[in-house]
């Protein structure tokens, strides 16, 4: 198990989180300069780090700082890659990228606000495994986002189409979370 080897080597979960962000931001930069194959590799390694940081944290002990860094850095990565496509070809990708980033913003707010109120109400769930805070599920999550980014790197001219479709899925997730909040937080 790779997580065990990293933990035994003294590599902290937070160090892996920071490295994952650095790789993710490098991927966005590679996209901006049109190096889509390099971006693809960097995205995949970045997301491997995103999975490993939690596994190492479970071995070494989770911290609030680690959970905080993980979610903030994930959101930074999710915003950076579409921005890279916009910077690569503003005329072709600008509107689609802006709409996708809008949907990420709304979805992120619905996710984090739900988590904050769930914490206030002392709600808990382990449906998504042990997490630092309450996770609600949705149609557009990390795996789906990764799939869209991979497809966009493989077929960069299709970025606008991928962005618009994923915007719809992301906004559906946000609306479903709002409906859930209306039912649960009465």
Which residues of the chain, if any, have pLDDT below 50? none
User: Which residue from 115, 118, 135, 113 is spatially nearest to 126, judged by alpha carbons?
Assistant: 135
Mean pLDDT for all residues in the chain: 91
pLDDT of residue 142: 85
Which superfamily does 2-184 belong to?
Answer: CDP-alcohol phosphotransferase transmembrane (TM) domain (1.20.120.1760)
CA angle 28, 31, 33 (to 5 degrees): 115
pLDDT of residue 126: 66
Number of neighbouring beta carbons within 10 Å of residue 151: 17
Query: Could you tell me the CA-to-CA distances from 148 to 63, 77, 125, 126 in Å, in that order?
Result: 30, 13, 28, 26
**Long-range contacts, stretch 1-10, CB < 8 angstroms, 24+ apart:** 1/55, 2/52, 2/55, 3/52, 3/55, 3/56, 3/58, 3/59, 4/59, 6/52, 6/56, 7/56, 7/59, 7/60
Q: Tokens 């931001």 sit at which residue?
A: 25
| Tokens, residue 24 | 């993710």
Spans of all domains in the chain: 2-184
pLDDT of residue 129: 55
pLDDT of residue 39: 98
| Tokens, residue 114 | 């739900």
pLDDT of residue 108: 93
User: Which residue from 31, 75, 79 is spatially nearest to 50, judged by alpha carbons?
Assistant: 75
pLDDT of residue 82: 98
pLDDT of residue 134: 60
pLDDT of residue 92: 98
DSSP assignment letter at 165 = H
């Amino acid at each position: 198990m790779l997580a065990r080897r990293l933990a035994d080597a003294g590599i902290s979960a937070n160090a892996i989180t920071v490295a994952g962000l650095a790789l993710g931001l490098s991927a966005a930069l590679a996209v901006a300069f049109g190096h889509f194959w390099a971006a693809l590799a960097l995205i995949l390694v970045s997301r491997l780090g995103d999975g490993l940081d939690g596994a190492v944290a479970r071995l070494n002990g989770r911290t609030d700082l680690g959970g905080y860094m993980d979610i903030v850095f994930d959101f930074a990565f999710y915003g950076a890659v579409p921005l890279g496509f916009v910077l690569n070809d503003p005329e072709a990708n600008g509107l689609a990228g802006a709409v996708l980033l809008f949907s990420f913003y709304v979805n992120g707010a619905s996710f984090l606000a739900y988590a904050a109120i769930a914490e206030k109400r002392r709600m808990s769930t382990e449906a998504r495994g042990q997490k630092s805070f309450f996770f609600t599920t949705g149609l557009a999550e990390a795996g789906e986002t990764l799939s869209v980014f991979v497809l966009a790197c493989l077929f960069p001219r299709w970025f606008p189409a991928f962005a618009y479709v994923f915007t719809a899925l992301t906004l559906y997730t946000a609306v479903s979370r709002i409906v859930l909040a209306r039912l649960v937080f009465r």
